[in-house]
Structure 1
Amino acid sequence: MNFNPYSFLNKSILFIVLGLFFSCASKKDIVYYQNIDAINTSQNIASYEVKIQPDDLLMIIVSAEDPEIAIPFNLSTISTQNSSNLQLATGQQTIQSYLVDRSGNIEFPVLGKLQVGGLSRTEVLQLLKDKVGVYIKNPIINLRITNFKISLQGEVNVPGTYSVASERVTLIEALSMAKDLTIYGKRHNILIIREMNGVKSYNRVDITKADFINSPFYYLAQNDVVYVQPNNVKVNASAVGPNTSVIISAVSLLITISVLLFK
């Protein structure tokens, strides 16, 4: 049987290149919720509420049976112009928001400074009802965080910052907003950066195991940052990519020298 050094060279290069770009991925690294049938869903999830934080913008509206009585407890509205054609410009009324300061306080009409930082939405509503109730019988109070947002980075298909209207979003919903993870994302090591009361925490979540549904990070808080780390295939590809031609040339040279020496 004749030995063809050039055929051997071509096949060797092919196997080397394939080895650089492909590696085996097991089911346990890709599939979500693998043990979901074996866990018990926590009852605390249903009652989850975000906590008010510094820099939150709160829209608070106080209503009463007599609208005139509630006026002093509401911020005034401002008019804005929305139109590209000045001749057709129309005015729009926008309700002003309360900015939670670094100490967790807001300045509320009539009531003055109120400490709301660290309280849940329900707790703030109760606080306002108690204080406004001194002046208005059975006040109706609506509260909403208007700048609730989360950021997704790394190995997701559409990274970016997303506004959330509901004030209640799960990690899975957030990843769905970003069109899910890429195939290169580490599903068992997702980083969630969270700031509470001025202190940042760094937390890891494994979405291949359904246990995370009962964790404090199943629901995201406002301003959370979700980072999906690339797996080894992506890391190796990024390192090899710019130098692929050099590596192939070097390997080719070594194989050629070997063929000539042992011919």
Structure 2
Amino acid sequence: MNLIKKEGIQQYSPIRYLWIGCIVILCLFSCSSPKNVTYFKDIPDTIKQRSIELATFVTPVIQPDDILQVTIQTLDAGATSMMNQSSPIFTANGTSPAAIPGVPTVNTTVPNGYLVDKNGYVLLPIIGKVMVAGKSTDLVRDEIRNGAEQYYKDPVVNVRFANFKITILGEVARPSAYIMPNEKVSILDAIGMAGDLTIYGKRENVLLIRDNNGKKDFVRFNLNDSKLFSSPYFYLHQGDVVYVEPNKSKVNSTDMSQVRNISILTSVLSLVIIAVSRINF
């Protein structure tokens, strides 16, 4: 029986008080504010069209330790086979290391291409050393084409980064280091490649870490705000790291001390109820 009659007055049994106390404790520890899981919440869902000024894209420049993929095409494919064959990474001193530290990819393979040495040069077959540091891939392409015209007729040259790496960590579906297929990569492109944020990702406080002339820049993004598109950090650079923090729900779910505290409070409450019930009865 949950009710006990004493001198004509109905009283609840200690068991009923115990259940009520446990429910109150669980509610106090489980209460949380609604999760911000929707991107760009400042854009009304009834709007038909809205324009936002996009951030200016700055073409990345080549730096030491970058890896370049260089292809030269002519009417005679055999004439340029040495330039275009899949080969290990070549350094400017002619060596070909088996692996390059700090160049991981999604499948942990080493990208083929030409490694930029510490002095900013790459060594190309036939053409020789080419200074590339501090230049865009478009400018290097034109310079290599000028050099290739001495040996080939009407060569078509393509130059691209083979290790444009972005690292995505934290609350995303597939945290890893990703080699991007092109140079124009936004924060949304990177998050999409990592499989989007999990339900526990803190969308209003995404952290970007960037190397900047020997220093580290730390920038916070709010994915709930459409101003993200106008941020000067909207487009990522080679070597950027994106970290998505877990929200309070994820932190609480993994906090074993909270579970311990709930158990202690429940035990104390049980003892208090039992003591009070013995005094009253």
Q: TM-score range by the shorter chain?
A: 0.7 to 0.9
- Distance of aligned partners of 1:69 and 1:254 in 2 relative to their CA distance in 1, 3 Å threshold: closer
User: 1:106: how far off?
Assistant: 1.5
For the 8 Å contact 1:13–1:252, the answer to whether it is kept is no
2:19 maps to a residue whose letter is N
- Distance of aligned partners of 1:35 and 1:153 in 2 relative to their CA distance in 1, 3 Å threshold: same
Give the TM-score taking structure 2 as reference length: 0.71
Which of 43, 54, 71 is matched with 1:42 structurally? 54
For the 8 Å contact 2:55–2:229, the answer to whether it is kept is no
Unpaired runs of 5+ residues, structure 1, are 80-94
Equivalents in 1 of 2:85, 2:188: separation in Å? 38
Partner residue, 1:33? 40
Which of 152, 171, 185 is matched with 2:187 structurally? 171
Partner residue, 2:171? 155
User: 1:227: how far off?
Assistant: 0.6
CA deviation string 1:29-76 (max 9, x = no partner): 33212235665232734xx5333233222111223456687678x376
Unpaired runs of 5+ residues, structure 2, are 1-9, 44-48, 89-110
Q: Does 1:251 align with 2:260?
A: no
Structure 1 or 2, whichever has the larger Rg, is 2
Give % identity: 32
Partner residue, 1:61? 71
Count of aligned positions? 242
Q: Does 1:140 align with 2:140?
A: no
Equivalents in 2 of 1:166, 1:99: separation in Å? 18
Partner residue, 2:14? 5
Equivalents in 2 of 1:152, 1:35: separation in Å? 25
User: 1:256: how far off?
Assistant: 3.0
Partner residue, 1:23? 32
User: 1:187: how far off?
Assistant: 0.6
Equivalents in 2 of 1:76, 1:67: separation in Å? 11
Q: Secondary structure in 2 aligned to 1:44?
A: coil
Equivalents in 2 of 1:65, 1:105: separation in Å? 28
- Distance of aligned partners of 1:137 and 1:198 in 2 relative to their CA distance in 1, 3 Å threshold: farther
- Distance of aligned partners of 1:69 and 1:177 in 2 relative to their CA distance in 1, 3 Å threshold: closer
User: 1:244: how far off?
Assistant: 1.5
User: 1:161: how far off?
Assistant: 2.3
CA deviation string 1:173-218 (max 9, x = no partner): 2222222212221111111222355543222111111111122332
1:1-263 pair list within 5 angstroms: 1-25=10-34, 29-36=36-43, 40-42=52-54, 44-45=56-57, 49-64=59-74, 74=83, 78=87, 97-109=113-125, 111-133=127-149, 138-196=154-212, 198-239=214-255, 241=256, 243-245=258-260, 247-257=262-272, 260-261=275-276, 263=280
For the 8 Å contact 1:13–1:248, the answer to whether it is kept is no
Q: Secondary structure in 1 aligned to 2:12?
A: coil
Would you tell me which structure has more helix in proportion to its own residues? 1
Give the TM-score taking structure 1 as reference length: 0.75
